Structure 1
Amino acid sequence: MPAASDPAETYSYLGPAGTFTEAALKQVEAAAGKAWRPVNNVGEALDDVTSGRSTAAMIAIENSIEGGVSATQDALATIPDLRIVGEYLVPVNFVLVARPGTALADVKVVNAHPVAYAQTHRWLERELPSHGHIPATSNVAAAASLLDGSTADAAVAPPGITDHHDLTVLAEGIGDNPNAVTRFVLVSRTTALPEPTGADKTSIIAELPDDTAGRLLEMLEQFATRGVNMSLLESRPIGDALGRYRFVIDLDGHILDERVADALLGLKRFSPNVVFLGSYPRADKQAITVTNRYSNESFVEARDWLRGLIAGEPSAH
């Protein structure tokens, strides 16, 4: 990709080239042919966006095996004026690579990113029962370190790593779950809302007002009573005291959907702090279906009925 120049034409991602994050960024049509800026972590990627060095950043937010990415969730909760403008899914699998001439029987120490190690540990323990583990900052960095004086004998890396580094693949498909998927989000400073597509997701972060019994149920009722499904609900410590948590929530639907808007109004009345992270098209493009009583028309009709009562209009029969 071309070197970064105009920040409006630059996208940040967890590098270097060859990472799963880069694979997610390749799915963004608007980023094609633009400058891509590799960074070392989520904080640096989002700092690029808030400082104006980049127009957007691609970051991992959820994994089907490990759950939510805490560093991303905490950053989105505490850095103001960020919006998710799109989500992208990347199948996750791994290969074991080594320097040319190394055999699997020679491997005593493995370099791997902690998340990648967690997703391959059963294979590693079965095939290399006495191996040691050196943590790496990224999957690609684990592989690159083998050519840069690492004491490791092999590394867990993404498929295709040999396109970027002169390494030998010792084993393929070493992930413990062949169906593992990581969800990435593209984060920007834009506040413009995309139009609803019928297959959308809304991301928010909310806090409970206090630790009174039943408060979590009260929060969840804001969605249940309006027919709004949650596809993600995770708690993260706020950090100011023990027992204080914020909740990262993904809702099925768009903020311009009547049921979602009404649920957010109820949530805002209940929660002392609600962070709206954005409404955007779902990566899987699966349409959201609701029963008639939760349709846009039903909410509009109910409001019209109430206005008619207040205005003293004759009832329709």
Structure 2
Amino acid sequence: MTSEAPAAQAPAPVRRTYSYLGPAGTFTEAALAQVPEARGHDWRPVRNVGEALADVVDGRSDAAMIAIENSVDGGVSTAQDALATVPGLRIVGEYLVPVEFVLVGRPGARIDGVSLIAAHPVAYAQCLQWLSRTLPAHAHVPASSNVASAMGLVDGTSDADAAIAPPGILEHHELELLASNIGDNPHAVTRFVLVSRTVAPPPPTGADKTSLIVELPDDHPGALLEMLEQFATRGINLSLLASRPIGDALGRYRFVIDADGHIEDERMADALLGLRRFSPKVIFLGSYPRADRAVVHYPERYSDDVFVEARDWLRGLISGEPEVQE
């Protein structure tokens, strides 16, 4: 008699969990939908940025999607402060979501019957011109979030006639679409970042961004200029420079920085070494592909070959090699 060995079973795929600002239908969910590796895995809705990042640190989630910057309102301070104070995190990707708003009501509602509108204060401000033209006699009821404004209509807890919400809300709840594209700035966009526990940066693509948080050594004339020179003298462009109070004393600030390039680029690595010598605290948040995939251009004098040649030249001087006259 012969027996056949049982066929080896392929290991079950490991399910991953991603935290995002919920509930379903938010802009953050729309950003997470852009992540190919997140599709088909578990998405965990949370109530705020702190909870999302705590999920990552404590191991409840493999990564979290958080909003970091808005083209109209600037940096998201809660996210920037959290990244500055919560250790063990690394940005592994960025994603852009157009900021579009819709006006929704209960099923059967009509726009000419709207007088009281629920909206998050930021969303309300970004739609105020449209509202003033279309519904000049309306009143505003503040909501805790863009989705919460609409959920009050769904569960009956809101007295409002309509709500300003993200378009994605219509995919999850039965609401009447009263108006689309009501935002005053058609070019508004929110930048999101995917945050994991500390991992090695992905390889450079040529279209990368490096995020840092840097503190000045002390408060003296030219201190900020000295920090910025670490980038300028190496041909590195900054796409974001924002100050946030450290909180231990008046006048003490940390700087949130996005620099064009990757930590494996010679010029970026050299700049980080300069920052490390200059600053008492440098937090490396990550090097990752740009959402717009725009290739980073720089003058030839800042190419990797130039930095490598300069290092080799110095090494030769130290070792006593004969200097070749060109």
- Would the TM-score normalized by the shorter structure come out above 0.5? yes
Choose which of 140, 147, 155 in structure 2 pairs with 1:140.
Answer: 147
Alignment of 1:109 with 2:116, yes or no, is yes
Q: What corresponds to 1:119 in structure 2?
A: 126
Give the SS at the match of 2:56: helix
Give the SS at the match of 1:146: helix
C-alpha distance in structure 2 between counterparts of 1:281 and 1:293, whole Å = 23
C-alpha distance in structure 2 between counterparts of 1:72 and 1:54, whole Å = 17
**What residue identity is the alignment partner of 2:319?**
A
Q: What corresponds to 2:301 in structure 1?
A: 293
Q: Say if 2:103 and 2:177, in contact at 8 Å, map to a contact too.
A: yes
Shift of 1:292: 1.3
Larger gyration radius, structure 1 or structure 2? 2
Alignment of 1:255 with 2:255, yes or no, is no
Q: Say if 2:26 and 2:168, in contact at 8 Å, map to a contact too.
A: no
Shift of 1:160: 3.7
Q: What corresponds to 2:8 in structure 1?
A: none
C-alpha distance in structure 2 between counterparts of 1:246 and 1:134, whole Å = 35
**What residue identity is the alignment partner of 1:168?**
E
Q: What corresponds to 1:177 in structure 2?
A: 185
Choose which of 10, 14, 23 in structure 2 pairs with 1:16.
Answer: 23
Shift of 1:239: 1.2
Q: What corresponds to 2:58 in structure 1?
A: 51
Shift of 1:7: 9.5
Shift of 1:131: 2.7
Q: Say if 2:31 and 2:95, in contact at 8 Å, map to a contact too.
A: yes
Higher mean alpha-carbon deviation, 287-296 vs 107-116, is at 107-116
Give the SS at the match of 1:53: coil
C-alpha distance in structure 2 between counterparts of 1:147 and 1:309, whole Å = 74
C-alpha distance in structure 2 between counterparts of 1:314 and 1:28, whole Å = 54
Q: What corresponds to 1:3 in structure 2?
A: none
Identity %: 72
Shift of 1:104: 2.2
Q: Say if 1:7 and 1:52, in contact at 8 Å, map to a contact too.
A: no
Q: What corresponds to 1:195 in structure 2?
A: 203
Choose which of 75, 80, 83 in structure 1 pairs with 2:82.
Answer: 75
**What residue identity is the alignment partner of 2:143?**
A
Alignment of 1:163 with 2:171, yes or no, is yes
Q: Say if 1:208 and 1:215, in contact at 8 Å, map to a contact too.
A: yes
Shift of 1:161: 2.2
C-alpha distance in structure 1 between counterparts of 2:78 and 2:138, whole Å = 28
Gaps of 5+ in 2: 1-12
Gap change, CA 1:140 and 1:7, over 3 Å in 2: farther
Q: What corresponds to 1:221 in structure 2?
A: 229
**What residue identity is the alignment partner of 2:39?**
A
Query: TM-score of the superposition, structure 1-length normalised?
Result: 0.95
Shift of 1:198: 0.7
Q: What corresponds to 1:240 in structure 2?
A: 248
Query: TM-score of the superposition, structure 2-length normalised?
Result: 0.92
Deviations 1:25-62 (A, max 9, x none): 11111111000001111111111101110000000001
Shift of 1:168: 1.0
C-alpha distance in structure 2 between counterparts of 1:133 and 1:239, whole Å = 34
Give the SS at the match of 1:147: helix
Ranges of 4+ aligned residues in structure 1 off by more than 3 Å: none
Shift of 1:8: 6.1
Q: Say if 1:63 and 1:181, in contact at 8 Å, map to a contact too.
A: yes
Q: Say if 2:207 and 2:293, in contact at 8 Å, map to a contact too.
A: yes
C-alpha distance in structure 2 between counterparts of 1:296 and 1:313, whole Å = 23
**What residue identity is the alignment partner of 1:259?**
R
**What residue identity is the alignment partner of 1:307?**
R
Q: Say if 1:88 and 1:183, in contact at 8 Å, map to a contact too.
A: yes
C-alpha distance in structure 2 between counterparts of 1:264 and 1:92, whole Å = 34
Q: What corresponds to 2:5 in structure 1?
A: none
C-alpha distance in structure 1 between counterparts of 2:249 and 2:14, whole Å = 39
**What residue identity is the alignment partner of 1:48?**
D
CA RMSD of aligned residues (A): 1.5
Q: Say if 1:83 and 1:188, in contact at 8 Å, map to a contact too.
A: yes
Choose which of 89, 99, 109 in structure 2 pairs with 1:92.
Answer: 99
Shift of 1:243: 1.3
C-alpha distance in structure 1 between counterparts of 2:185 and 2:270, whole Å = 39
C-alpha distance in structure 1 between counterparts of 2:236 and 2:146, whole Å = 37
**What residue identity is the alignment partner of 2:77?**
S
Gap change, CA 1:7 and 1:150, over 3 Å in 2: farther
